[in-house]
């Protein structure tokens, strides 16, 4: 910061002094306070919504793999478990279908808009608290100075 015609270091010192004298502070909302959409490894929220919309129906039976003996054993086991697995899977599918319907309607409805409004109000609230703190501090300092003057 060397300069031939002006002394920048001196100017910087003057600026620092000015800040001190005026009591300027950086009382403001921190960037970390601002929520944001975190990207999951699997992709965005809309991608996740697409996924659940197309994958909510679970097949109770999977393709059986292995050598013919293993496949035969698995088939027997599957038959034996059928009475338990099938109703549970169908019940789960009913629940999934309803859950997806609700999630999609929430995502598409005003509630998404509302949540962003709530978020903005929460941030504004935080910012106001910071300002209020600052004003209270200034007020206390002024009162002290006034009391000193009177006393």
Partner 1 sequence: MRVVQLLPTLSFGDGVGNDAIALKEIIGKMGYSTEIYAENIDKRLPEGTAVKADRLRDLKKEDVLIYHKSTGTDLSFKIDNYKCRRVMIYHNITPPEFFRPYSPSAAQLTEYGYKGVEYLRDKVDYVLAVSEYNKSELIRMGYTCPIDISPSLTRFEDYEQEPDAATVKKYSDGKKNIIFVGRIAPNKRQENVIRAYCCYRKLNPDSRLILVGSSSGMENYSERLAKYAGALGLGDDVIFTGHIKFSEILAYYHTADAFLCMSEHEGLCVPLVESMYFGVPIIAYNTSAIGETLGGSGILLDDNDPVFTAAVLDRLLTDDKLRESIIEGQRRRLEYFSYERLKDIFETKLKAFIEGK
The residues of the shown chain that bind partner 1, judged by CB under 8 A, are 1-3, 5-6, 8, 11-12, 15-16, 18-19, 24-26, 28-29, 31, 33-41, 119-120, 123-124, 126-127
CB of 13 to partner 1, least distance (A): 12
| Rounded Cα distance, 11 and 41, in Å | 49
CA distances from residue 33 to 47, 121, 126 in whole angstroms, order as listed = 26, 13, 9
Cβ atoms 48, 40 nearer than 8 A = yes
The radius of gyration of the chain's CA atoms, rounded to the nearest angstrom, is 32
- Helix 68-108 crosses helix 45-55 at what angle (to 10 degrees)? 130
| Rounded Cα distance, 1 and 8, in Å | 6
Of the pair 10, 110, the CB lying nearest partner 1 is at 10
Of the pair 1, 69, the CB lying nearest partner 1 is at 1
| Rounded Cα distance, 62 and 103, in Å | 27
CB of 127 to partner 1, least distance (A): 6
CB of 25 to partner 1, least distance (A): 6
CB of 73 to partner 1, least distance (A): 42
Of the pair 38, 65, the CB lying nearest partner 1 is at 38
Of the pair 20, 150, the CB lying nearest partner 1 is at 20
């Amino acid at each position: 910061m060397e300069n031939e015609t002006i002394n920048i270091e001196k100017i910087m010192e003057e600026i620092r002094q000015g800040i001190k004298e005026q009591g300027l502070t950086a009382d403001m909302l921190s960037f970390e306070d601002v929520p944001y959409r975190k990207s999951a490894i699997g992709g965005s929220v809309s991608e996740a919504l697409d996924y659940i919309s197309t994958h909510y129906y679970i097949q109770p039976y999977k393709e059986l793999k292995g050598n013919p003996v293993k496949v035969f054993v698995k088939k027997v086991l599957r038959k034996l478990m059928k009475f338990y697995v099938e109703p549970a899977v169908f019940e789960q599918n009913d629940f999934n279908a309803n859950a997806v319907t609700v999630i999609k309607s929430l995502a598409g409805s005003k509630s998404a808009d509302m949540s962003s409004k709530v978020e903005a109000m929460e941030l504004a609230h935080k910012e106001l608290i910071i300002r209020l703190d600052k004003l209270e501090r200034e007020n206390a300092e002024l009162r002290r100075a006034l009391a000193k003057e009177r006393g």
